[in-house]
Amino acid sequence: MEFYVTFERAVELITSQEFTLPSQQVPLFEAAGRVLREDVVADRDDPPVPVSAMDGYGVKFPDVETVPSRLKVKGVVPAGVDRPVEIERGEAVKIFTGSVVPESVDLVVPVEWTEEREGGVEVKKSFPKGANVRPPGENYRKGQVLIREGTVLGAPEVGIAASVGRSFLKVSVKPRVGIVVTGSELLEPWESFSSPVQIRNANAYTLYSLVREAGGEPVYFGVVEDSREKTLNALSEAFDVCDVIVTSGGVSAGDYDFVKEVVGELGIDVLFYKVQVKPGKPVLFGRKGNRFFFGLPGFPVSVFTSFNLFVYPLLMKIQKAKEIFKPKVRGVLVEDYSRKKAERTEFVRCSFTFSKNRFLVSPLKRQGSGVLSALIGRRALMVVPKGVKSLRKGDSVDLILVKGL
């Protein structure tokens, strides 16, 4: 076991774990948020033939070089109808968005630049050759690899899979993530207080949401009182059915902190305990066979940051995602930031805006580990490296986008 490791070492110990979850076929409706385990290849050109991008009239270019111009309407090609209506000089064909463009047509004049006259049409504006015609393969070409293995599937990827005729995709099985929350002071949101020292359990719900965001299947084991036996029982139950177990609280050095004590009894190989980070110093990471254990601190902000920094990359890695970290960008600090001690890497909670191609970063005034309310809304983590005591307004900083954009 390594004790009080640097942030970088902790991440290295986590991301060097070799284990990949099995894959499964899922129907497209279930595919969003999952990690793809195959390449998705185009089965044909899209569009397969030239199609009209507008409702209007297919015409020959020389006929609309000077306008207004009157043309005879030769016929109609509705979308989805394979009816080649070929035209000669002086003729037009009525056409719709998605209709096949006949070979003899040079361009499509949008309907708003035309006026129907008995038996004919008047074109009021010229367009270049090819205007409003989508060429074959505009979207993709047959044989092209469209989505690579390891991609986290989002809305466009699922749409593309459908368009290449895939109704099932091979994805990683969701990691089952057990959530065990410790603390005799905790009440569930629906329970009523019997004493003013009780507090509501926020962490279970934060963790549940974070697991879902990382493509996992959360399994909630409830609140466990601060007792050695109860902690041991809850954790061994979780180990029976989960790939990854995450606990909150009970991992510090207090008399009632039993998580650290019982991991040994469970046969977990502890890889590190305590990390040189702020917030969330007392994080524990271990492994037993192909099951992983994270003991996170109890403070709600620490739970959020340490999940994003440590648990998230492991969940992405075992799902075989290409990108396993939360996105990181460079930002510009809009005010000075200083701290008394610089012995840990600090993840300063910030608000940010994006303006003139730059992320402008403002550290929040309320940085307490218990102040979860400061994380409501658009928030990110500014990285203050170990050894750095102060940063100046205008300095360039790393910003971890833990809450999307």
Residues in contact with Mg ion by the rule CB under 5 A: 183, 249-250, 298
On the question of a cis peptide bond just before residue 279, with omega within 30 degrees of 0, the verdict is yes
Which range, of 117-125, 187-195, 248-256, 330-338, touches ligand AMP by CB under 6 A?
Answer: 248-256
What's the min distance (Å) between Cβ of 212 and ligand AMP? Answer: 17
Q: Do residues 216 and 176 touch, judged by C-beta distance below 8 A?
A: yes
| CB nearer to ligand AMP: pick between 15 and 252 | 252
| CB nearer to Mg ion: pick between 175 and 298 | 298
Which range, of 179-187, 239-247, 373-381, 382-390, touches ligand AMP by CB under 6 A?
Answer: 179-187
**Is residue 183 involved in binding ligand AMP (CB under 6 A)?**
yes
Residue 69 vs residues 63, 104, 105: alpha-carbon distances, Å: 7, 18, 16
Residue 151 is classified by DSSP as P
Which range, of 12-20, 67-75, 196-204, 326-334, touches ligand AMP by CB under 6 A?
Answer: 196-204
Judged by CB under 6 A, which of 215, 218, 250, 313 binds ligand AMP?
250
CB atoms under 10 Å from CB of 339, counted, come to 15
**Is residue 247 involved in binding ligand AMP (CB under 6 A)?**
no
What's the min distance (Å) between Cβ of 196 and ligand AMP? Answer: 13
Query: Which residues make Cβ contacts (< 8 Å) with residue 238, sequence separation at least 6?
Result: 178, 180, 219, 221, 245
Burial letters for 248-269: b for 16+ Cβ neighbours within 10 Å, e otherwise? bbbbbeeeebbbbebbeebebe
Residue 63 is classified by DSSP as G
**Is residue 300 involved in binding ligand AMP (CB under 6 A)?**
yes
| CB nearer to Mg ion: pick between 185 and 217 | 185
Residue 350 is classified by DSSP as E
What's the min distance (Å) between Cβ of 298 and ligand AMP? Answer: 2
Which range, of 62-70, 113-121, 268-276, 297-305, touches ligand AMP by CB under 6 A?
Answer: 297-305
**Is residue 299 involved in binding ligand AMP (CB under 6 A)?**
yes
Query: Which residues make Cβ contacts (< 8 Å) with residue 245, sequence separation at least 6?
Result: 177, 178, 180, 235, 238, 239, 291, 292, 293, 294
One-letter amino acid for residue 221 of the chain? F
**Is residue 301 involved in binding ligand AMP (CB under 6 A)?**
no
When CB distances are held under 5 to 8 angstroms depending on the partner's kind, the choice from Mg ion, ligand AMP, none that residue 49 binds is none
- Residues 202-221, one symbol each (x = binds ligand AMP by CB under 6 A, - = not), give xxx-----------------
* Numbers of helices and strands, H then E, in the chain: 7, 29
Residue 140 is classified by DSSP as B
Judged by CB under 6 A, which of 79, 162, 199, 241 binds ligand AMP?
199
Q: Do residues 203 and 248 touch, judged by C-beta distance below 8 A?
A: yes
Judged by CB under 6 A, which of 11, 40, 92, 181 binds ligand AMP?
181
Q: How far apart are CA 103 and CA 87, in angstroms?
A: 9
| CB nearer to Mg ion: pick between 47 and 295 | 295
Judged by CB under 6 A, which of 23, 172, 248, 305 binds ligand AMP?
248
* Token representation of residue 265: 């009894």
The residues in 51-110 that bind ligand AMP, with binding defined as CB under 6 A, are none
Site residues for ligand AMP per CB under 6 A = 181, 183, 185-186, 199, 201-204, 248-250, 252, 254, 297-300
